[in-house]
Structure 1
Amino acid sequence: MASQKQEQRLSFLATAIPPVAWIVVFFLAPLAIVWAYSFGENAGLTEVDISGTFANYERALQPLYLGIFTKSVVIAALTTLLCLVVGFPVALAIVFASEKWRAWLLLLIMLPFWTNLLIRTYALMAVLRTEGYVNFTLGWLWDNASWFMTLVGLEPLGDFTPLQLLYTNFAVIVGLVYVHLPFMVLPLYAALDRLDKSLIEASLDLGAGHLRTLYSIVMPLALPGIISGIIITFVPALGAYLTPDLLGGPDSQMIANVIERQFKVANDWPFGAALSFLLMYATFAAIALRAYFSRGKTADGHGF
């Protein structure tokens, strides 16, 4: 018996050691080095003296960087809200679609993951630029409206002025929603797919309308998927770098762009490390807060 337990223990260790070693060597160790850099100062062009100082964190809490961090949180929160508003009906439609179409609809949701983010971002730039498809469509509608007004004897419209959509906060939010929408749809679909559809039928049979059924039955039962989708969308949106860098202007930069400049341009690795870990601390705090309240609700018998 003891020999069998020892064999099981050895088998478990043989299976667990390679992935644990991989995580330690290629994830935890580099993370620990960057964390140690956040308590250091530059000692030369390529050297960092880890002196235990908190000056980098004090500098990161200055109004300039707090403002950028706050703006990043607001943009990430707005992106998450828009993804929820758009993604919930999409997930609901996929759940109630026929078996034949459900697989194809899920494929369309996951299809963007098969394309490089850089290519998708450049494609969006082609859509939003001054000579892009959005302005081309608006210009065509404007010209036709002007022609129709002339036809009926009204004063025609003037020349169409293309909208400045690219390199704005609007473009950044559109890009973030475009990139992160699948992260919201898939958890919502997983939660709604487990929904007991007889509850919806009972609600409708008892006289509740579709909107009341949605808010009183569907959304409370889908709450685990909603919370998971919010976290999965908000966290990467908060740390997004490529989208605001390519689609945003000078006033549209987020905290990840500031961190990148500290490492690549300013060569201030200690300050960049401090900014990075402040972002990680905030992310971990949000996840821990969600886990705490979820555990409390479950313990009281009111959770999911």
Structure 2
Amino acid sequence: MEQSWKKAKAVFAGALGPPLFWLVAFFLVPMGIVWAYSFGENRGLTEIVIDGTFQNYARVFEPLYLLIFWKSAWTAALTTLFCLILGFPVALAITFAPSKLKAWLLLLVMLPFWTNLLVRTYALIAVLRTEGYINLTLGWIWTRLTGAAFTPLELLHNNFAVVVGLVYVHLPFMVLPLYSALDRLDRSLLEASLDLGAGHLRTLFSVVVPMALPGIASGVVITFIPALGAYLTPDLLGGPESQMIANVIERQFKRANDWPFGAALSFVLMYLTFLAIAVQAVSARTRKAAEP
């Protein structure tokens, strides 16, 4: 028995070794280097001296950067809200779809992951730009109805385009956890609610939504965190007033050549991410403890 346990430990160590090495060498070590940079300062054009200063973190709390953090959090929260509003009916429809159709609907939800994000963003630009499909369609309808010239809508390079792009990119992250939670619902409770006289809307908000709270919480976290750190979408779809914190971090590393401050901004963003995950975990634990 003892010999078999030693063999099992060897097999376990052999299976764990390569991924653990990869995690340490290509994730933890680089992250540690960047974290160390956040306590340094530039000396000359290329030299960074790590002297334990907190000056970079103090700069994060300047009004300009606090405003950018707040705007990024607000944009991410708005994106999460729209994803929840749009994703819940989609997840509900997939849950109650016939078994043969359910697999195809899930495939359609996951289909965007098969296409590169850059390609999808440029496709969205083709839809939103001044000569894009939306303005061409609206112009054709307006001309037919009124006979007057149509002034194209400014749908690109603004906050509207950023939110639309983020919802477009992150909607599957909301739908899949919601579907996972809704698919485990006890449908007899829905039938009982309807039999007792509750309408469909009351059943939805009084039975379905409370039972789907774990999926909603997971979907909110999984959607909010990537949206908070989004870079490509606001960079391509947004204007000068639509930049988020990830775009500011990119400029510190590439254009301003201020790696210590860029590292401090990066880790403040990471701390906020950890805080969101911790809040979700505490909320889930509290909800589980309150269950009978």
Smaller-chain TM-score bracket: over 0.9
Distance 2:283 2:9 in 1: 36
Structure 2 residue matching 1:251: 3-state secondary structure: helix
Distance 2:233 2:47 in 1: 31
Hey, what does 2:11 align to over in structure 1?
11
Structure 2 residue matching 1:48: 3-state secondary structure: strand
Q: CA RMSD of the aligned region, Å?
A: 1.0
Distance 1:293 1:92 in 2: 24
Hey, what does 2:163 align to over in structure 1?
173
Hey, what does 1:206 align to over in structure 2?
196
- Residue 110 of structure 1 deviates from its aligned partner by 0.5
Hey, what does 1:90 align to over in structure 2?
90
Hey, what does 1:21 align to over in structure 2?
21
- The counterpart of 2:279, out of the listed 289, 295, 300, is 289
Hey, what does 1:183 align to over in structure 2?
173
Hey, what does 1:229 align to over in structure 2?
219
Aligned partner letter, 1:296: T
- Residue 47 of structure 1 deviates from its aligned partner by 2.2
Matched, 1:243 2:245: no
Greater Cα radius of gyration, structure 1 or 2: 1
Structure 1 residue matching 2:49: 3-state secondary structure: strand
Hey, what does 2:139 align to over in structure 1?
139
- How many pairs were matched up? 292
Distance 1:300 1:201 in 2: 25
Hey, what does 1:164 align to over in structure 2?
154
TM-score (norm 2): 0.98
- In structure 1, the gaps of 5 or more residues are 148-157
The correspondence of residues 12-91 of structure 1 with structure 2, limited to 5 A, is: 12-91=12-91
Contact 2:79–2:163 (Cα < 8 Å) also in 1: yes
- Residue 6 of structure 1 deviates from its aligned partner by 1.4
Contact 2:76–2:227 (Cα < 8 Å) also in 1: yes
- Residue 193 of structure 1 deviates from its aligned partner by 0.6
Aligned partner letter, 2:264: A
Q: Percent identity?
A: 70
Aligned partner letter, 2:287: K
Matched, 1:262 2:255: no
- Residue 300 of structure 1 deviates from its aligned partner by 3.7
Deviations 1:228-269 (A, max 9, x none): 000000000000000000000000000000000000100100
Contact 2:214–2:284 (Cα < 8 Å) also in 1: no
